[in-house]
Amino acid sequence: MAESVHLNRRGVLFVLSSPSGAGKTTISRMMLEADKDIALSISATTRPPRPGEVDGVHYHFVDTETFKKMAADGEFLEWAHVFGHRYGTPRARVDELLEAGKDVLFDIDWQGAQQLYQEAGPDVVRVFVLPPTMEELERRLRSRNTDSDEVIAARMERAANEISHWDGYDYVLINDHVEGCFDEVRAILRAERLKRRRQIGLIGFARDLIRAVPDADKKL
Ligand SMILES: Nc1nc2c(ncn2[C@@H]2O[C@H](COP(=O)(O)OP(=O)(O)O)[C@@H](O)[C@H]2O)c(=O)[nH]1
Ligand SMILES: Nc1ncnc2c1ncn2[C@@H]1O[C@H](COP(=O)(O)OP(=O)(O)O)[C@@H](O)[C@H]1O
């Protein structure tokens, strides 16, 4: 039997953004569960943890001074102000994951998506998740039971702004039924992994196939 062929490939930097409550955390968790070749970039944030959130798993929860120092020391690939708090992507983990041959999943806002794209252009895939309606978005924010009325009102206000950046993304999905949306996200990742430019050694591989046919290259 012929040996199976394996080409290495460049890692995908897979960004999921959405207005708060549209479902990106839910989809991210499903994705990480289903696919061992992608791992989460764990952001640092100055916002306090929600019930059930674990330091170092969902976020690195840091105080403002620590965050500022990390930013000044160049530890972030990107960072931004969101809802009155600072959020940033530590560079070291992303480098480590890529080095280990993993794809990296980013749950970051449009500002982060933009900065990451400026840093790593062709390696970045940007997916934006929309809610089916604004009423449903508010219902989901309430059903999460984690935020006060005031915080929910602020998130709804910001949602309109976040949505206005939809056209800065490569793919835009509507999270009506979560399973359907999750399938679409997986299909995007699967196809992006197969992109020609990510396959390392493809040029040599194709050349060797052609050369294996005597005199074939003379006729091309
Ligand atoms: N730019 C940037 N945005 C982030 C980062 N981490 C989280 N965010 C975004 O900050 C926003 C608020 O996140 P969070 O407080 O967890 O609430 P959520 O909207 O319910 O997920 C979301 O839009 C996240 O995608 C980061 O490292 N950089
Ligand atoms: N397609 C969906 N239908 C109904 N509820 C959903 C759907 N997707 C997510 N949810 C629920 O909506 C709430 C907000 O989702 P979450 O993933 O935390 O959003 P985000 O990370 O975008 O703020 C959660 O309670 C989640 O279980």
Instruction: ipTM value, please give it.
Output: 0.96
Report which protein residue has its CA nearest ligand 1's atom 27. 88
Pocket of ligand 1 contains residue 115 by CB under 6 Å: no
Pocket of ligand 1 contains residue 43 by CB under 6 Å: yes
Given this model, what pLDDT does residue 146 score? Answer: 75
Structure tokens at 87: 């959020």
Atom of ligand 1 nearest to the CA of 76: 27
Is 211 contained in some domain?
yes
Residues with CB under 6 A from ligand 2: 18, 20-26, 140, 143-144, 175, 177-178
Is 32 contained in some domain?
yes
- Using CB atoms within 10 Å of the CB of residue 9, give its burial: 0 to 12 exposed, 13 to 18 middle, 19+ buried: middle
Atom of ligand 1 nearest to the CA of 146: 20
Given this model, what pLDDT does residue 180 score? Answer: 98
Of 201, 198, 185, 38, residue with least CA distance to 122: 198
Please state at what angle helix 24-34 crosses helix 178-193, rounded to 10 degrees. 60
pLDDT in tens, 142-161: 998 778 899 899 889 999 99
Structure tokens at 199: 């396959």
Mean pLDDT by 10 residues, the chain (220 residues): 79 96 95 97 96 93 98 97 94 95 96 96 96 96 86 91 96 98 98 94 92 78
Strands (E), the chain: 13-17, 38-40, 44-45, 60-61, 76-82, 85-90, 103-107, 124-130, 171-174
- For 121, residues 6+ apart whose C-beta sits below 8 A from its C-beta are none
For residue 103, give the amino acid letter. D
- Rounded Cα distance between 169 and 185, Å, is 13
Is 25 contained in some domain?
yes
Given this model, what pLDDT does residue 3 score? Answer: 73
Helices (H) and strands (E) in the chain, counts: 8, 9
Structure tokens at 18: 């959405």
Is 197 contained in some domain?
yes
Is 6 contained in some domain?
no
Q: How many domains does the chain have?
A: 1
Is 1 contained in some domain?
no
Domain that holds residue 134: 13-41+103-219
Given this model, what pLDDT does residue 6 score? Answer: 81
18 is in an annotated binding site: yes
What CATH number is given to the structural domain containing 193? 3.40.50.300
Please state at what angle helix 134-143 crosses helix 149-163, rounded to 10 degrees. 140
Is 156 contained in some domain?
yes
Is 130 contained in some domain?
yes
Structure tokens at 167: 């056209």
Given this model, what pLDDT does residue 219 score? Answer: 66
25 is in an annotated binding site: yes
Given this model, what pLDDT does residue 85 score? Answer: 96
Pocket of ligand 1 contains residue 117 by CB under 6 Å: no
